[in-house]
Amino acid sequence: MIDQATVEKIYAAANIVEVIGDFVQLRKKGVNYQSCCPFHNEKTPSFVVSPSKGLFKCFGCGKGGNAVTFVMEHENMTYPEALKYVARKYGIEVRERELTPEEAQRNDDRESMMVVSHYAADWFTSQMFDTDEGKSVALGYFRGRGFTEATIRKFGLGYCPAQGEAFTQAALATKKSSSQARG
């Protein structure tokens, strides 16, 4: 794990215009910089970098973040990899330390929760789009409220079936079949 003092040094050194400028041709516009977005296809620039805030934001696709998260997304790196990349760029020595057993356990728990919540989000979405009950009750409701399918998918809206145990049963069945496949 990269130690906290190193992380702070990296953030303090990272100039977002320089970091993003290594990947994207930025043009100065007023106090900000802009370009066509590297994350979606476009002909007119809606990707804006603010040096004073240290943030980027695309007004086309909604992607935004800081210098480190830009490198993560653009180069498909993990958070520690992106931190190390920026550290290298600015000649910062990266100090790492072993996780304590408590920290390792906490990371494991957090990862498990992420897996569960992604699974849940996918499941509730498919309940809405792929079942008759979901289509008539939830999808009909959202469409009636004027939500397009793109909006519904973007915000990960879903449907929880009237049968309250359905999610738990599906999750347990998936867990069982994936551990069987592994074993």
Long-range contacts of 143-152 (CB under 8 A, 24+ apart): 152/128
Q: Tell me if 36 contacts Zn ion by CB under 5 A.
A: no
Q: Tell me if 24 contacts Zn ion by CB under 5 A.
A: no
Distance CA 156, CA 88 (A): 37
Q: Cite the DSSP H helix spans in 29-165.
A: 67-75, 79-89, 101-130, 132-134, 140-144, 149-154
Task: Restricting to residues 39-58, name those near Zn ion by CB under 5 A.
Answer: 39-40, 58
Task: Restricting to residues 110-169, name those near Zn ion by CB under 5 A.
Answer: none
Amino acid in position 105? Q
Q: Tell me if 71 contacts Zn ion by CB under 5 A.
A: no
Cβ nearer to Zn ion, comparing 58 with 83: 58
- Least spacing, CB of residue 47 vs Zn ion, in Å: 6
Name residue, tokens 């809405």. 128
Cβ nearer to Zn ion, comparing 15 with 46: 46
Distance CA 67, CA 83 (A): 9
Strand order in the sheet with 55-58: 27-29, 32-35, 47-50, 55-58, 64-66
Task: Restricting to residues 74-103, name those near Zn ion by CB under 5 A.
Answer: none
Q: Tell me if 65 contacts Zn ion by CB under 5 A.
A: no
- Least spacing, CB of residue 175 vs Zn ion, in Å: 36
Cβ nearer to Zn ion, comparing 37 with 157: 37
Residues belonging to the chain: 183
Cβ nearer to Zn ion, comparing 150 with 162: 150
Q: Which residues bind Zn ion (CB under 5 A)?
A: 37, 39-40, 58, 60-61
